[in-house]
Amino acid sequence: MSAISRLLISCVLFPAAQCLAAAPPSAPPNRSVPLCTGLTIVTAVSQPEGDYESIKRIGSSDGGVMHLKYSNEVPVASPAGGAPIVRKLLLDRAIHLADLRAAKLYLQQFATNIPSDVPGTTSIGVSSAVLSALKSEGEAEVGVFAVPPAIPGSAKIPADPKVHPNVFDYYETYKLSRVERSPVMVPVIVNDVKTELPAIHATGKSDFYGYKAEFFFLDDESNPLSLKFRLGIGAGRPKGQPGADRDTLQVVKIAYACGDSQSGPSRLERQLMETGKADVYDIYFSFNSDQVREESEPTLREIFEVLRRHPDWKLGISGHTDNIASDSFNLDLSTRRAAAVKNALVTSFGVNGGRLATSGYGKSRPVDTNDTEEGRARNRRVELVRQD
């Protein structure tokens, strides 16, 4: 007997008050991710200095093409041997809707030497046709790219197959086979809530040097996102030594507001109304810095709108980090990040600073394990608390 059936029976047998108390607090989380304007996908890459995040956001759509904004801030070694230098990368990518349905090439790389429009490819996952083949036949072929690193000042590699070298000279075909008969669950923060998304797990070898790969594609043929992958497994290591894979991806956060009512309260506002607090994961900071990235603007604007609609509210803003780096570093960083959020609300949106109090807790209040990238991503957060 299902939990819902048991609940319905208890509603008949017991008084209404007991029935309401036994009811689940909310519906199960949505296990699909709509492909719409504003969809934001955040991936994390782990390294000794800390995790850095890349952000992909769907922008406008016109003429059968969706426009993707890609933002990455990668820490690289300083020539002087000091603290790492953060290299910023901002790119555009065109995604053709026809390719989302049928393309067999997955252009997973983002670099300055790759054209913004490469017809015949997908960018944030595979096509519906590839996922459908994995589900119905248990196998599929997909081409993934190994474009050489960009050289400063070099031109883009053309997407014209008649000119060589071109982008299509650098893909390799992986012959994938589905691993489990049922979807496996992948933990991801979806709209600020820890969620498990169903994924089709597939592995295979490439036809280029025979390196192995594995993928976890969202089990949603309308939007088969790549949630995790490892490409060229072991290819990044010196001969005879353990080392990194050639390319990896780990989605840690997804946010969207598709179909949300413009007249009613937002998700953030409802949380503050009902529980008095909200963990916010889509305020983004530069690597090991209190600099607020521009991709945070929609969330900052939402906080401003909440405060505008509730002029009697005051908010506490607290910063939290993962456990990488020292206690003192994380405490200082979290304090500065909370102050940076307040400063952005005051200077960019005109919020009265007297309505905002800030604090930092560093790594002292984790909400998840620090042993995984997705766990650390949950711990790196801004918490809002009503202070009526």
> Which of 231, 255, 279 is the last residue before a domain boundary?
255
Q: Is the pLDDT score of 7 beyond 50? A: no
Same domain, 194 and 278: no
Asked if residue 203 belongs to a domain, the reply is yes
Instruction: Tell me the sheet residues that pair with 248.
Output: 230
At 204 the three-state DSSP class reads strand
Asked if residue 14 belongs to a domain, the reply is yes
Instruction: Tell me the sheet residues that pair with 76.
Output: 85
State how beta strands 247-255 and 277-280 pair. Answer: unpaired
Same domain, 94 and 158: yes
Tens-digit pLDDT profile for residues 291-343: 999 999 999 999 999 999 999 999 999 999 999 989 999 999 999 999 999 99
| C-alpha–C-alpha distance, residues 85 and 75, integer Å | 5
Whichever domain contains 360, its CATH number is 3.30.1330.60
Asked if residue 261 belongs to a domain, the reply is no
Indicate the pLDDT class of residue 49, thresholds 50, 70 and 90: low
Tens-digit pLDDT profile for residues 188-246: 999 999 999 999 999 999 887 788 999 999 999 999 999 999 998 887 655 545 457 88
Same domain, 153 and 222: yes
Number of domains in the chain: 3
Asked if residue 200 belongs to a domain, the reply is yes
Q: Quick one: pLDDT at residue 11?
A: 36
> Which of 255, 287, 310 is the last residue before a domain boundary?
255
Tens-digit pLDDT profile for residues 157-201: 999 999 999 999 999 999 999 999 999 999 999 999 999 999 999
Q: Is the pLDDT score of 24 beyond 70? A: no
Same domain, 125 and 225: yes
Same domain, 279 and 164: no
Same domain, 89 and 180: yes
Q: Quick one: pLDDT at residue 211?
A: 87
Same domain, 165 and 226: yes
Q: Quick one: pLDDT at residue 80?
A: 73
Tens-digit pLDDT profile for residues 74-130: 777 777 777 767 788 899 999 999 999 999 999 999 999 999 999 999 999 999 999
Q: Quick one: pLDDT at residue 199?
A: 98
Q: Is the pLDDT score of 262 beyond 70? A: no
Peptide bond into 152 cis (omega under 30): no
Q: What is the mean pLDDT of residues 4-20?
A: 33
Cβ atoms of residues 348 and 303 within 8 Å: no
Same domain, 101 and 149: yes
The whole-chain average pLDDT of the chain stands at: 87
Same domain, 247 and 135: yes
Indicate the pLDDT class of residue 21, thresholds 50, 70 and 90: very low
Kindly state the tokens that stand for 95: 């995604």
Of 339, 335, 330, the C-alpha closest to 288 is 330
Same domain, 4 and 52: no
Same domain, 287 and 193: no
Q: Quick one: pLDDT at residue 212?
A: 92
Q: Quick one: pLDDT at residue 261?
A: 53
Q: Is the pLDDT score of 14 beyond 50? A: no
Asked if residue 260 belongs to a domain, the reply is no
Buried b (16+ CB within 10 A) or exposed e, 37-66: eebbbbbbbeeeebbbbbbbbbeeeeeebb
> Which of 210, 230, 255 is the last residue before a domain boundary?
255
Q: Quick one: pLDDT at residue 246?
A: 84
Q: Quick one: pLDDT at residue 238?
A: 57
Of 308, 312, 280, the C-alpha closest to 296 is 280
Indicate the pLDDT class of residue 47, thresholds 50, 70 and 90: low
Same domain, 178 and 288: no
| C-alpha–C-alpha distance, residues 194 and 202, integer Å | 24
Q: What is the residue range of 130's domain?
A: 40-255
Indicate the pLDDT class of residue 17, thresholds 50, 70 and 90: very low
Cβ atoms of residues 286 and 293 within 8 Å: yes
Indicate the pLDDT class of residue 8, thresholds 50, 70 and 90: very low
